[in-house]
Amino acid sequence: MSLFDKLEFRFGRFAIHGLMRYVTALNGVCYILYKFNPQFLNFLYLNPTLVLQGQVWRLFTYIFIPQFGSFLPEWFGAAIYLFFLWWIGEGLEHAFGAFRLNLYYLLGMVGVTAAAFITWDSWAAFTLNASLFYAFAYFYPDEIIFVMYIIPAKVKWLAWLGVVVAMFSFLTGTWDFRLALLASLANFFIFFGPELARGARMRAQVSERRKKFEAAKSDLPETLHECAVCHRTEATHPDLEFRVSSRDGHEYCKDHLPKAAPAPENP
């Protein structure tokens, strides 16, 4: 039984079913309040300095800040974001189960909070959403998303693009930024890192075996005769005789040549 199984067995009854539905709904509520008062979102951002001054609610409220986008009208971008958040959440709960999604999201929040305090900067909720998207891509790599609402692309392609951008940022960023980036994606590494590592090792082993097989195969001389049963050839057994069976047209060695069918009796 894995650690996650043990935790689910002990604490599974406390899981919030439909977690991402609540998160999506509260994002919608915050967007409405923002439209009434544009300064409202300033009370929700994850700001380490203000957290240490006693505004501890910021450790949680930043996940309710909706993302608007910049290519379409604000209200439409917010609607697309809410739908996307709900869609990913439903898919992950179906694949994960309620408890593991709760744990994954909680670890993501801890990682984003750690990243904020490492860099002493505000890390927006999109970092947490990135870890959700990578998990979704792991379970549903061939799902189609319309980029810019018109260009179809598989989820795995977008996830790999995000990985490339993250790797570039990691290589070019400061050490504080690198630590923060790793912390913000720690939930993904904890949940999927071991399995991804096993898959990489298995692919490497398969590739190595294939190379050895091809090398060994290329070392064998070309043959004209091969038994369809034992696969012996004139190269491996020079003294062996081969015959083509009249029954099926296959070639056999003398030890495995099928016997001719008996002639029918005259009536």
| Domain spans in the chain, listed from the N-terminal domain onward | 3-200, 223-259
Cα 61 from chain centroid (whole Å): 27
With a CB cutoff of 8 Å and minimum separation 6, the contacts of 175 are none
What would the DSSP string read from start to end of 76-140?
A: HHHHHHHHHHHHHHHHHHHHH-HHHHHHHHHHHHHHHHHHHHHHTS---HHHHHHHHHHHHHHH-
Q: With residue 251 as reference, give the H or E element that holds it.
A: strand 251-253
What one-character DSSP code corresponds to residue 66? Answer: -
At position 5, the amino acid (one-letter code) is D
Tokens of 100: 């593991």
Residue 207 burial (C-beta neighbours within 10 Å; 0-12, 13-18, 19+) = exposed
Cβ(30)–Cβ(66) under 8 Å? yes
Question: What is the pLDDT, as a whole number, of residue 135?
Answer: 93
How do the pLDDT tens digits run along the chain, 267 residues long?
688 888 888 888 899 999 999 999 999 999 999 999 989 988 998 888 899 999 999 999 999 988 876 666 788 888 888 999 999 999 999 999 999 999 999 998 998 888 888 877 765 556 788 899 999 999 999 998 877 767 888 999 999 998 898 889 888 877 877 888 888 888 999 999 888 888 888 888 888 888 777 776 665 556 667 888 888 887 777 777 777 877 777 888 877 877 755 545 544
The conformational region for residue 249 under phi > 0 = left, psi -120 to 50 = alpha, else beta, is left
Looking at the domain that runs over 3-200, which CATH code has it been given?
1.20.1540
Phi and psi at residue 242, in whole multiples of 5°? -125, 145
Cβ(121)–Cβ(107) under 8 Å? no
Question: What is the pLDDT, as a whole number, of residue 68?
Answer: 74
d(CA 139, CA 97): 13
